[in-house]
């Protein structure tokens, strides 16, 4: 029961505000890089910053960091499945 309560414990207000500030900074960085007119750089920024932002929301706002391993594993499997599908689609397109 002790462990359960630790898992359900409220995330401190300060942590949530810090995560929000980080999300705003990452958004600003993404917009800045995409306006820099450098195609490869902006694609890389999109492929790194965007999942990082989503990760912050998942881990802190959605409490995933404090969840049991099996929920973490299920989220991972779902996302891996999606990435796999997108990968397979690209295999198809690039060999047509």
Partner 1 sequence: MSTATDGAHGDFEGAKLGMWLFLFTEILLFGGLFLLYSAYRSVYPRDFHNGGQHLNAVIGVANTVLLLTSSLTVALAVTALRRGERRLSRLCLGATVALGCLFLFNKYLEWSAEIRHGIYPNSPQLLERPGGEQLFYGLYYSMTGLHGLHVLAGVVLLSVMLVMLRREGAARSDYTKLYNSGLYWHLVDVIWIFLLPLFYLAA
CB of 16 to partner 1, least distance (A): 5
DSSP string, 34-64: HTTT-HHHHHHHHHHHHHHHHHHIIIIIT-G
Q: Give the residues lining the site for partner 1 (CB under 8 A).
A: 1, 3-5, 8-13, 16-17, 19-20, 23-24, 27, 30-31, 34, 42, 46, 50, 53-54, 57-58, 60-62, 71, 74-75, 78-79, 81-82, 85-86, 89-90, 93-94
For the stretch 87-90, contacts whose Cβ atoms lie closer than 8 Å and that sit 24 or more positions apart, written own/partner, are none
| Nearest approach, Cβ of residue 26 and partner 1 (Å) | 9
């Amino acid at each position: 029961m002790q462990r359960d309560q630790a898992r359900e414990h409220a995330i401190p207000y300060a942590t949530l505000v810090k995560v929000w500030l980080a999300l705003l900074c990452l958004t600003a960085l993404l917009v800045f890089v995409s306006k820099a007119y450098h195609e490869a750089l902006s694609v890389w920024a999109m492929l790194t910053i965007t999942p990082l932002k989503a990760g912050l929301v998942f881990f802190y706002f959605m409490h995933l960091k404090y969840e049991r391993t099996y929920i973490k594993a299920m989220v991972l499997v779902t996302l891996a499945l999606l990435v796999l599908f997108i990968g397979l689609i690209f295999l198809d397109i690039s060999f047509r």
